[in-house]
Every structure is written in structure tokens, then in C-alpha cells.
Amino acid sequence: MENAYSCSAGGASTSLEGGKETPIHLKLSRQLWEHLGEQKSDVDSDDLRHVSQVVYDKSGSLTELQMQVAEFYERFSGSTTEFHRNIAALPFQVCITTGPDDFLFKAFEEAGKKPVREYYDFRATRDVTIAEPSVQCPLIYHFYGHTESSQSLVITENDLIDFLTKIVKNDPPVPSFIRLSAGIRGDQQKH
């Protein structure tokens, strides 16, 4: 993409809690942590990947965990923050986020733009055609998956390792211009 402007906005989604902004991934981590019972003392309540791994190991159901996480983020549907509004005011064509929320999407809509949402699914190959993004129709790319498909979410420590392995192998493939925007070197072909 010639003259493309891109941004990366991970972990910046917040919500008000007790008069102060709290990253929503911490709220999720703490909510899941509350269900650990006796194991709580051995787990850092703010370490989402580890808390999620312990929850998964305890329940044995990744699908149940994926649904809980998707439902948590759905509560914030239609929300955004000042941070995201500030990003939306800039001339970005591509925004790559590691959050599964729609804070950026909503902020671009509020700015009078027509954002397009796409996501990477490290568990399945998706046949996706992405139109050329523009300042008026920016692409919001969810690198760690999106709640639209809870199976695509990178939640646990094991998920993160699997995700990184898939990214390095480019299997399933990441769109070329996303690889370039994210600074992933070598556009390897799937073997």
C-alpha cells in the first residue's frame, strides 16, 4: 500500500472503575481470577494469560473459556475511549490491535469514517478479501482474534505459544500488507 499510515494499539482499552480508568484486560483477568477458589493465592490476578491458562486447566473446556471471554468483551460493545477517539482523528489507513474489543472501530465510526473490521484466526484458515484501506475507510485488524469468532481469540499461555508458532510459519497465512504493517519480516509462503 503506497502512502499507508498504520498504527498499533494494543492493551489501551479501558473502562471506568471506582473513578479511575482500568485496562479492560485487567478487569477480565480479575473476573476470571475470582473463580479460581483455593488456587487464587498462587496466581497473579493481573496476568491474563496465566489466569486464563489456570482457568482452562481447571475446567478442561477451552470452548467455555472462549465464550466467557467473548461475553465479557461484548459488554463493552458500542463503547470507546478518548485515547481511541484521538487515534481515529489521525489519518490512519490500518490499525492493528491485539485487543478483541471494538473500541477503535467505534471511535472511527464516531469520527464519521467507515471502518472495516478483520481479524486473524490462528486456529483456522479464513478466506478473506480485504479491500484497499483508506483514511475514510480504515482497516481495524485484530491480531489476537475477535469476539465475532471466539475460537480465534488468543487467551491462554498455550494459545500465545500456538499463535506465535503460526505467525512464524505463516500458517494460516497473515495478509501480506498486515505482515508489512506489523513489521513481520519475510513473507514466507505456506509449505
> What pLDDT is stored for residue 3 in this prediction?
44
Strands (DSSP E) found in 11-66: 14-17, 20-23
Beta-bridge mates of residue 30 = none
Per-residue tens of pLDDT for the chain, all 191 residues: 444 555 655 555 666 556 677 888 999 999 999 989 888 889 999 999 999 999 999 999 999 999 999 999 999 988 898 989 999 999 999 999 999 999 999 999 999 999 999 999 999 999 888 889 999 999 999 999 999 999 999 999 999 999 999 999 999 998 887 887 777 765 454 44
48-59 vs 62-74: helix axis angle to the nearest 10?
130
> What pLDDT is stored for residue 2 in this prediction?
47
Where are the domains positioned within the chain? 6-12+80-182, 16-74
Cα 133 versus chain centre, distance: 19
Question: Of the candidates 90, 106, 72, 80, which has an alpha carbon nearest to the alpha carbon of residue 13?
Answer: 80
